[in-house]
A = this chain, B = another copy of it.
Amino acid sequence: MGAMKSALRILVTGGTFDKEYHELEGRLYFQQTHIPEMLRLGRCQLEVQIETLMLIDSLDMGDAERARIVAACRAASEERLVITHGTDTMERTARLLGPLPLGKTIVLTGAMVPYTFGSSDGLFNLGSALAFAQTMPPGTYVAMNGCCFPWNDVRKNRVEGVFEPRSADAPGAGA
């Protein structure tokens, strides 16, 4: 299968997904992405290209960072993309990508607990996102909490720590 075009591309941007504990400094930080390790753990047989764009907390994302994400989505030869992203501003990046005529299925996902910590939702979300990326029609989506939300109808409920439709009646809705 050496010459086959990748079925999927994973664009890594960091977020809680890839945070680690720095034992000498006693703080959380990024060293490298754990996506390859997670795909091995899941015994994933899909043809996947992994591209690390950045490793940052999504609260630290500005226009320049988001522009790089958009550019990577355009440049990808694959038609199906998964973007790992911090959950705090995931909906913002989704709303930037959503209106663009990219002709690709783009699924953003993340984690509430770092993969390296155990008790993480990371593996579950990755399996979920890769599945939705294979089946959803072209468009931008957020895959969190087992659900797949269209880009224009999702928000993070910051009180509960879960994602829900924008139309849901819930406090703590963010922009």
CB-CB nearest in chain B for A133: B131
In the complex the two chains form, is B125's CB within 8 Å of A128's CB? no
Report if A103 contacts B (CB, 8 A).
Answer: no
Complex Cα spacing A39 to B147, Å: 12
Min CB distance, A157 to chain B, in Å? 10
In the complex the two chains form, is B158's CB within 8 Å of A24's CB? yes
Chain A contact-residue range equals 35 or more
Contact mask A86-124 → B, CB, 8 Å, 1/0? 001000000000000000000000001110111111011
Chain B residues, CB < 8 A from A129: 127, 131
Chain B residues, CB < 8 A from A113: 21, 23
Interface of A is mostly: mixed
A143 and B124 contact, Cβ closer than 8 Å, known pairs A16-B26, A117-B116, A119-B41: no
Complex Cα spacing A112 to B113, Å: 19
A112 and B147 contact, Cβ closer than 8 Å, known pairs A26-B57, A127-B128, A128-B130: no
Other A-B contacts than A26-B57, A42-B145, A45-B163, 15 sampled, CB-CB below 8 A, are: A21-B114, A28-B28, A43-B112, A43-B146, A45-B145, A45-B147, A45-B162, A116-B118, A117-B117, A117-B118, A123-B123, A127-B129, A128-B131, A132-B135, A135-B148
